[in-house]
């Protein structure tokens, strides 16, 4: 079932009542309070802003996550890292990262494009108040070649989007993110949706119940679970 949200009340229905694909609710806004409530319950906005301005909120019951300590770095990627031509930064160029995520390879013009001006502005505000963060990959310290951004909760980084301007730019950004999350003792990175390259780097599924136990700090690690 997909629920209609009351624009005047910041609340979400029980995520377990949503559709099999994770679609949960429609409506509401992108205010800081609503976004923080959403992300703290594993809910995120994902909608085709060019077709319908109404926000669709998703919460899959099987969560695709990466444990920072489990990140798989291929031989070819490690070779790139060892060349010492790439460096990482955190929150050095948030606006550039999110705009590249929206437009790289013509994403903004494609069917189903979801990262539009309203979401971009909402996340730039979240960055200004230290809730949303970016990882940047620089070639020779000067040229931005990859990056990602997302929302940082106490025990989880919820990745929203990534981009590459050079081969493996987004994979390098994930390496930088994992190093940062290990240093900050963050248990997991929520990838939201499974992709082949995230799976190749160590992504795996956990249940929504386990996911929320980690978010709430009830357990301090990501257990290995059987695939559904």
Kindly report, residue by residue over 63-98, the tens digit of the pLDDT.
Answer: 999 999 999 999 999 999 998 899 999 999 999 999
Residues in the chain: 228
Token look-up 């963050």 returns 186
Residue 25 pLDDT level (bands cut at 50, 70, 90): very high
Position 137 pLDDT exceeds 90: yes
Dihedral sign from CA coordinates of 36, 92, 101, 70 = negative
End-to-end CA distance of the chain: 21
What is the pLDDT, as a whole number, of residue 11? 97
Position 227 pLDDT exceeds 70: no
Query: Edge-to-edge strands of the sheet including 23-26?
Result: 3-4, 23-26, 56-58, 44-45
Task: For the chain, give the mean pLDDT.
Answer: 95
**Count of CB atoms within 10 A of residue 96's CB?**
14
C-alpha span between 206 and 145 (Å, rounded): 31
* Segment (H or E) for 228: none
CA-based Rg of the chain, rounded to a whole angstrom?
17
Kindly report, residue by residue over 140-160, the tens digit of the pLDDT.
Answer: 999 999 999 999 999 999 999
Query: What average pLDDT score do residues 21-26 get?
Result: 97
Query: What average pLDDT score do residues 183-211 get?
Result: 94
């Amino acid at each position: 079932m997909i629920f209609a949200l009351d624009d005047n009340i910041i609340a979400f229905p029980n995520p377990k009542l949503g559709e099999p694909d994770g679609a949960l609710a429609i409506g509401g806004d992108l205010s800081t309070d609503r976004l923080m409530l959403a992300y703290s319950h594993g809910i995120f906005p994902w909608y085709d802003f060019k077709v319908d301005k109404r926000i669709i909120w998703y919460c899959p019951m099987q969560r695709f996550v990466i444990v920072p300590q489990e990140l798989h770095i291929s031989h070819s990627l490690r070779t790139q890292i060892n060349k010492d031509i790439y460096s990482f930064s955190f929150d050095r160029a948030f606006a550039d990262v999110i705009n590249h995520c929206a437009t790289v390879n013509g994403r903004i013009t494609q069917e189903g494009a979801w990262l539009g001006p309203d979401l971009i502005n909402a996340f730039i505000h979240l960055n200004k108040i230290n809730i949303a963060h970016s990882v940047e990959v620089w070639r020779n310290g000067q040229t931005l070649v990859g990056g990602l951004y997302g929302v940082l909760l106490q025990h989880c980084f919820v990745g929203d989007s990534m981009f590459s301007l050079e081969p493996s730019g987004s994979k390098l950004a994930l390496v930088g993110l994992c190093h940062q999350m290990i240093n900050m003792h963050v248990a997991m990175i929520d990838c939201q949706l499974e992709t082949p390259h995230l799976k190749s780097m160590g992504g795996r599924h956990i249940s929504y119940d386990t996911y929320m136990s980690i978010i709430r700090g009830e357990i301090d690690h990501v257990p290995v679970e059987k695939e559904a």
